[in-house]
Amino acid sequence: MTYTPVSAMKCFLWVVLVISLDLSSANSISSYNHYRLPTALRPQKYYLRILTLLENPDDLRFAGSVQIVIEALENTRNITLHSKNLTIDESQITLRHISGSGSKDNCVSSTSVNPTHDYYILHTCRELLAGNVYKLCLPFSAELNRQLFGYYRSSYKDPVTNTTRWLSATQFEPAAARKAFPCFDEPGFKASFVVTLGYHKQFTGLSNMPVKEIETHESLPNYVWCEFEQSVPMSTYLVAYSVNDFSFKPSTLPNGALFRTWARPNAIDQCDYAAEFGPKVLQYYEQFFGIKFPLPKIDQIALPDFSAGAMENWGLVTYRETTLLYSPTHSSLSDQQNLANVIAHELAHQWFGNLVTMKWWTDLWLNEGFATYVAGLGVQQFHPEWHSRDKGILTALITSFRLDSLVSSHPISRPIQMVTEIEESFDAISYQKGSAVLRMMHLFMGEESFRSGLKEYLQLHAYKNAEQDNLWESLTSAAHQSGALDGHLYIKTIMDSWTLQTGYPVLNITRDYSAGTAMLTQERYLRNSQIPRAERVGCWWVPLSYTTQVEKHFNNTGPRAWMECSNTGESVPTTIDLLPGPEEWLIFNIQLSTPYKANYDARNWKLLIDTLNSGEFQSIHVINRAQLIDDVLYFAWTGEQDYDTALQLTNYLQRERDLIPWKAALDNLKLLNRLLRQTSNFGSFKRYMKKLLTPIYEHLNGMNDTFSSITQQDHVLLKTMVVNVACQYQVGDCVPQALAYYRHWRSEANPDENNPVPINLRSTVYCTALGQGSEEDWDFLWSRYKKSNVGSDRQTILSTLGCSKAVWILQRYMEKAFSPKSGIRKQDSALCFQAVASGQVGFLLAKQYMMENIEFIYKYYYPQIRALSSLLLPFSEQVSTMSDLNKFRSFANDSRHFLKGIRQAMQQSLETMLTNVQWMDRNYQHFSRTIQHHL
Ligand SMILES: *[C@@H]1O[C@H](CO)[C@@H](O)[C@H](O)[C@H]1NC(C)=O
Ligand SMILES: *[C@@H]1O[C@H](CO)[C@@H](O)[C@H](O)[C@H]1NC(C)=O
Ligand SMILES: *[C@@H]1O[C@H](CO)[C@@H](O)[C@H](O)[C@H]1NC(C)=O
Ligand SMILES: *[C@@H]1O[C@H](CO)[C@@H](O)[C@H](O)[C@H]1NC(C)=O
Ligand SMILES: *[C@@H]1O[C@H](CO)[C@@H](O)[C@H](O)[C@H]1NC(C)=O
Ligand SMILES: *[C@@H]1O[C@H](CO)[C@@H](O)[C@H](O)[C@H]1NC(C)=O
Ligand SMILES: [Zn+2]
């Protein structure tokens, strides 16, 4: 095949009234330094033409032109927009007046840039006049980058011909459309897009809208121009396109939008589940939101290289392979639930985010919190046996409780100026805490008023932008109308206390047993015990749901009272009366409906613990059992309760057979493991863990393959989770069984075809085997990685290759992780590093590797350095001595140049390490003594 070089495209059509450019001061530095674009201009429509060249692997690139129809709202002498790392042929820029009473001809006299905010500024020859409409045409070109952002390249190996196939894809959120074409790259500048893609005819082009027509290219042989229908008005970050040679599976439902699922041809048989589930969930949301999906089609595509989990581009949703592709013979149940959840999340965005978009990134949480929350409802609808709603909310709470107990956390809604700050906002606070406070509102408002308020909000702001206050207005009026909220209460008053304030409260509940009352106070909960009392002030509006041992009204999640704040934002102690006698427990926060922690007086804890440790433990709702575990372990950590109380409570786990309390317990106990496993008293902790785990391990038949007889799907996950820890603590026959499975697999003649290890046990078996195993065991698994065709399978392998305890093997693995030639994709490098760094031996190696190679790692990710923050996670959990903490502090300081894009994550890591050091100082001796009494 011959390769034809193509220069940047010309702005072909505009011969009339075009005045050529006088570039007297090209690319001088502009004085305009505000982080938001000027508002004098508003883009109405983009005509975007992009030619993608995938023939020459040494020169993968694109060339295009964009014509932007711009309305002047105020008079101005410049057009300021975003452009990043694009080559713009300035001699070809044109500016034309197309309507209004102003002067007919105009031109661009000079350009300048502002690299801090990625501005490209065109100074016009004549003033643009308010009320007039102009058309600006800019030709541009760039290479298809390797950064997984903007317009980038991806590839896969075709197993039949053993050749590399190239493809292109976009990832624009939050601020990378500017890397693909010059544009007004802020979510508030919505416009319609007419996309036309040029490519070799062996490929397919996809974009947000359906194809309008395909024409042959005017000069390049075998090339076509594929024009797509004009889009609805949307934000630049939702524009998407891809040129690829994928196959698709259609699955359109009657009366539904055209629905297709795309993947590389040799993975198309892994699309069945997503193709079936996607359209059903889309239809569910049409009913849930009461608004039809507005586009004629929707495609979902699995990309071999993808930075995030998935992206909700309107009408063309992009995924990692692991979040879209499902193989019944290779994907575990947890993989399947994960992908259902991601699909449901992205499709929820088609309304929340795409139809109604945040005005500015400050309100990112509205998009993400909503999609996270509603995804749980969508999955629940079609897989009630998975209990995804409850599991989702527990995960949301557990994750956000941890992060949000740090001083270095941040409010859900917060000011944003720099792109790095936008990127840092894609965190547990926006997603998980956001989802938790939305659920709180759903539960205190009730189904009907919540749904009608939402619908009104979406209808009112469709195709436009909104802020959280707009949502509060719609919800308040719905809640007042239905009587769900007292006339004197406003959603804004309540919700501002949750979204504008960092953290969450702990409620101190002290009962007066003779009077039958309880007195409630609140303050901010912080894990860092050096913070003085005076800095823990704060007031949250708390809907109070509670029940008692007699009532057991665990279905009643609505508020029986409110804990209010004064006009000046101070908390007002609240008294609850008509409570039962001294022999009965009282429990607050039914089904964890609100993100707060509840601490009781000693007697009430005792009553709860007695019930948990009796045959009656199931009379407490399963989510509240998880709550009690999570709360008591937090309080013991920070000293509000002692470990004797906490361990008495967790003792009941010997009876527990449900997933949710186990998840809460193992999550917290893992932290103790990380601190204790290098101490001389680890033996006692291990014995305690064995005591808790043995009954459940046996109940679930341990490592034996009994999956086909499990009727309750939850127990599949529970078994997966339990055996994983059981092998770590050498419970029962866990380790020998794991080794036997692995030996069996290794003896298979064709291990890529036949894997005798039960799918849901693979992670545990691989990790256990490599932990004990030889170089050959490691190399065997690595070969399986290289040959696997299934994303989730490859992910399982990568995360267990770090389980080796051999220093040199781990070192070699870490080096592979950051070496593009090794076969590990950039998207997976953090997973590999984490796998090494989480291990006891690997931790020390990874720490040293990171500190010595930070510049190299920085360059590997540059400019997407946010990936660095996930490398820090395993260290946060394990650093527990003052000297190690100080090493990290100096590292943070010495390497600040490389770490400045992840400042927030670094602060959070350092603070977490500090709380570990505090734990060792305050609790280690006490804990070591106490646990002896519980063995
Ligand atoms: C461009 O015009 C806007 C609005 O008139 C103005 O605020 C801004 O400062 C100008 N930018 C430059 C670089 O002159
Ligand atoms: C900008 O693009 C050039 C090639 O087009 C590339 O070499 C360079 O690394 C890019 N810079 C950034 C910061 O992405
Ligand atoms: C595939 O090609 C690579 C080099 O491109 C070569 O090393 C490898 O042996 C080939 N594999 C097969 C099965 O032909
Ligand atoms: C609570 O709700 C669950 C599920 O909706 C239902 O099965 C149960 O019977 C209800 N319990 C009471 C006491 O109403
Ligand atoms: C909580 O109540 C206990 C008494 O049960 C009291 O000692 C403690 O100071 C209270 N803490 C707060 C934050 O009010
Ligand atoms: C697994 O199965 C074997 C053989 O049937 C049995 O001896 C063993 O006790 C089982 N293990 C567990 C934990 O159930
Ligand atoms: Zn999202």
Q: For 397-422, write each residue's pLDDT tens digit.
A: 999 999 999 999 999 999 999 888 89
- Residues 716-773 pLDDT 10s: 999 999 999 999 999 999 999 999 999 999 999 999 999 999 999 999 999 999 999 9
Tokens 């490209």: give the residue.
120
What would the CATH number be for the domain defined by 5-245? 2.60.40.1730
In this structure, what DSSP letter does residue 296 have? S
**DSSP calls for 488-514:** T--HHHHHHHHHSSSS-EEEEEEEETT
Ligand 7 centre to CA of 352 (Å) is 9
Whether the link from the prior residue into 174 is cis, omega within 30° of 0, is yes
| Secondary structure of 402-454 in HEC code, one letter for each residue | HHCCCCCCCCCCCCCCCHHHHHHCCCHHHHHHHHHHHHHHHHHHCHHHHHHHH
Q: Is the pLDDT of residue 7 over 50?
A: no
| Residue 213 clears pLDDT 50, i.e. is over it | yes
The whole-number pLDDT of residue 102 equals 72
**Contact at 8 Å (CB) between 122 and 230?**
no
Per the model's pLDDT, the better-predicted residue between 21 and 303 turns out to be 303
Q: Which ligand is in closest contact with the Cα of 699?
A: 6
* Confidence tier at 6 by pLDDT (50, 70, 90): very low
Contact by Cβ (8 Å): 934, 651: yes
Q: What is the pLDDT of residue 159?
A: 87
428 in ligand 2 pocket by Cβ < 6 Å? no
pLDDT digits 0-9 by tens, 666-715: 999 999 999 999 899 999 999 999 999 999 999 999 999 999 999 888 89
How many Cα atoms are found within 13 Å in the side-chain-facing hemisphere of 161?
Answer: 6
Q: Cα–Cα distance between 658 and 208 in angstroms, integer?
A: 43
Over residues 276-299, mean pLDDT: 97
Indicate which atom in ligand 2 lies nearest the CA of residue 147: 14
What is the tens place of the pLDDT at every residue in 720-732? 999 999 999 999 9
Which pLDDT tens digit goes with each residue over 824-854?
999 999 999 999 999 999 999 999 999 999 9
Q: Report CA(605)–ligand 5 centroid distance (Å).
A: 14
Atom of ligand 5 nearest to the CA of 521: 14
Instruction: Return the pLDDT at 585.
Output: 98
With cut-offs at 50, 70 and 90, classify the pLDDT of residue 9.
Answer: low
Q: Is any atom of ligand 6 closer than 6 Å to the C-beta of 698?
A: yes
Orientation angle between helical segments 762-772 and 734-746, nearest 10 degrees: 90
Q: How far is 429 from 326, CA to CA, in rounded Å?
A: 29
The pLDDT of residue 29? 79
pLDDT band, very low/low/confident/very high, at 867 (cuts 50, 70, 90): confident
Judged against a pLDDT cut of 60, whether residue 99 lies above it is answered with yes
Distance between CA 123 and CA 37 in Å, rounded? 15
In testing the pocket of ligand 2, which one of 145, 146, 419, 860 has its CB within 8 Å of the most ligand atoms?
Answer: 145
| CA of 72 relative to ligand 1 center, distance in Å | 13
Q: pTM for this structure?
A: 0.94
Radius of gyration of the chain measured on its C-alpha atoms: 29
pLDDT at residue 10 in the model: 55
What is the average pLDDT value for the chain, to the nearest integer? 94
pLDDT at 105: 82
For residue 52, list its beta bridge partners: 62
Residue ranges, comma separated, of all CATH 2.60.40.1910 domains in the chain are 505-633
Confidence (pLDDT) at 910 = 97
pLDDT greater than 80 at residue 71: yes
Q: Which of 186, 227, 229, 346 is catalytic?
A: 346
Selection from 843, 797, 841, 847 nearest residue 823 by Cα: 797
SS (H, E, C) 891-918: HHHHCHHHHHHHHHHHHHHHHHHHHHHH
Q: Are strands 505-512 and 597-600 parallel, antiparallel or unpaired?
A: parallel
The CATH number of 806-935, from 1.25.50.20, 1.10.420.10, 1.10.287.3510, 3.40.50.620, is 1.25.50.20
- Residue the block writes with tokens 């396109």: 241
Confidence of residue 2 (pLDDT cuts 50, 70, 90): very low
Task: Evaluate whether the domain defined by 505-633 bears CATH number 2.60.40.1910.
Answer: yes
Pull the structure tokens for residue 48.
Answer: 């975007």
Residue ranges, comma separated, of all CATH 2.60.40.1730 domains in the chain are 5-245
How many angstroms separate the alpha carbon of residue 555 from the centre of ligand 4?
A: 6
Which residues approach ligand 1 with their CB closer than 6 A? 30-32, 38, 40, 76, 78, 80, 121
Active site annotation includes 346: yes
CATH 1.25.50.20 segments of the chain: 806-935
Q: What is the mean pLDDT of residues 10-27?
A: 41
CA–CA separation, 781 vs 802, rounded Å? Answer: 11
CB of residue 502 inside a 6 A radius of ligand 2: no
For 250-503, the fitting CATH number among 3.30.390.10, 3.40.50.970, 1.10.390.10, 2.40.50.140 is 1.10.390.10
pLDDT at 1: 31
Residue nearest to atom 1 of ligand 1 (CA): 78
